[in-house]
A and B are shown apart, each in its own frame.
Chain A
Amino acid sequence: MAMKAIDPQYTADTKYALEVRNVDIYYSAFRAVKNCSFGMERNKITALIGPSGCGKSTVLRSLNRMNDLIAGARTEGEVLYRGQNLYDPDIDAVQVRRSIGMVFQKANPFPKSIYDNIAYGPRVNGWKGSKAEMDELVERALRGAVLWDEVKDDLKKSGLAISGGQQQRLCIARALAVEPEVILMDEPCSALDPISTLKIEELMFELRQRYSIVIVTHNMQQAARASDNTVFFLMDKEDRAGQIVEYGPTEQIFQSPKDERTEQYISGRFG
Chain B
Amino acid sequence: MSAEPLTPLSASTGRLPQGEEVKQNVASRQQRGKLWQASLLFSVFVGLLVLLLLAWNIVNDAFGGIAVQEAVEVEALTGGRELEELAQPELVAILEENLRSRVLRNLNREQPLAERDAENLIEVILFEIIKPEVVATFSLYDYLFNRAEIEAQLAQDFPRAELEFKSWLRWDFIVNPMSSNPIFAGVRTALLGTLWLLVLTILISFPLGLGAAIYLEEYQSDKIFDERKPVGRFFNRVIERSTSIISTNIYNLSGVPSIIYGMLGLAIFVRALEAFTSGSFFGANEGTTANGRTIISAALTMSLLVLPVVIISSQEAIKAVPSTLRQASLGLGATKWQTIWKIVLPNALPGILTGTILAISRAIGETAPLIVVGASTFIVTDPTSIFSKFTVLPIQIYNWTSRPQDEFRAIAAAAIITLLILLLSLNATAILLRNYLRSRRVS
Contacts and interface: CB of A to CB of B under 8 A. Distances in A.
B314 to A, nearest CB: 19
Interface string A68-96: 01010000000000000000010000110
Given A104-B324, A108-B324, A111-B441, A124 B331 contact: no
B243 to A, nearest CB: 14
Greatest chain B CB density within 10 A among A95, A108, A121, A125 is at A108
Contacts of B332: 97-98, 101, 120-121, 124-125, 174-175, 178
Given A110-B343, A160-B442, A160-B443, A66 B334 contact: no
Interface in A192-240: none
B443 A66 contact: no
Contacts of A95: 333
Contact of A94 (B228, B335, B342): B335
B334 A110 contact: no
A71 B333 CA distance: 19
B347 interface: yes
Interface string A108-129: 1111110000001100110000
Contacts of B326: 69
A29 interface: no
Given A121-B332, A158-B443, A108 B338 contact: no
Interface in A41-83: 64, 66, 69, 71
Most B CB within 10 A of own CB, among A1, A106, A124, A159 = A124
A257 B75 CA distance: 117
B410 to A, nearest CB: 52
B442 A97 contact: no
B438 to A, nearest CB: 10
Interface residues of A, number: 33
Contacts of B347: 111
Nearest to A126: B333
B230 to A, nearest CB: 17
B442 A111 contact: yes
A102 interface: yes
B331 A1 contact: no
Interface in B396-432: none
Given A71-B221, A124-B338, A112 B442 contact: yes
A241 interface: no
Contacts, number: 78
Chain B interface size, as a band, is 20 to 34
Contact of B442 (A89, A104, A113, A174): A113
Contacts of B338: 124
Nearest to B334: A124
A175 B332 CA distance: 6
A97 B443 contact: no
Contacts of B329: 110, 120, 124
Nearest to B339: A124
Given A1-B226, A160-B443, A178 B322 contact: no
Given A110-B325, A110-B343, A178 B333 contact: yes
A125 B333 contact: yes
Which of B331, B338, B441 has the largest count of A CB atoms less than 10 A from its CB? B331
A187 to B, nearest CB: 13
A175 B333 CA distance: 10
A94 B335 CA distance: 6
B330 interface: yes
Contacts of A102: 327, 331
Given A1-B226, A104-B324, A171-B328, A121 B342 contact: no
A108 B333 contact: no
Nearest to A106: B324
Interface in A134-181: 157-161, 171, 174-175, 178
Nearest to B343: A110
Contacts of B441: 111
Interface in B208-227: 221, 226
B245 to A, nearest CB: 19
A178 B332 CA distance: 7
A175 B334 contact: no
Interface string B341-368: 0110001000000000000000000000
Interface string B311-326: 0000000000010111
A80 B330 CA distance: 20
A27 B333 CA distance: 24
Contact of B333 (A89, A104, A124): A124
B130 to A, nearest CB: 68
Contacts of A161: 442
A100 B347 CA distance: 26
Contact of B327 (A66, A71, A94, A120): A66
B351 to A, nearest CB: 14
**Which of B221, B330, B335 has the most chain A CB atoms inside 10 A of its CB?**
B330
A69 B331 CA distance: 11
Given A108-B324, A110-B343, A112-B442, A66 B333 contact: no
Contacts of B330: 66, 69, 94, 97
A65 B333 CA distance: 11
Contacts of A69: 326-327, 330
A164 to B, nearest CB: 14
Among B221, B322, B442, chain A packs the most CB atoms within 10 A around the CB of B442
A71 to B, nearest CB: 5
A64 B442 contact: no
Sort A-B residue pairs by CB-CB distance and give the 4 closest, nearest first: A98-B333, A158-B442, A121-B332, A108-B324
Interface of A: 1, 64, 66, 69, 71, 89, 94-95, 97-98, 101-102, 104, 106, 108-113, 120-121, 124-125, 157-161, 171, 174-175, 178
Interface of B: 221, 226, 228, 322, 324-335, 338, 342-343, 347, 441-443
24 contacts: A66-B331, A69-B326, A94-B333, A97-B333, A101-B331, A102-B327, A104-B327, A104-B328, A104-B331, A108-B325, A110-B328, A111-B325, A111-B441, A112-B442, A121-B334, A124-B332, A124-B333, A124-B338, A124-B342, A157-B442, A158-B442, A160-B442, A175-B331, A175-B332
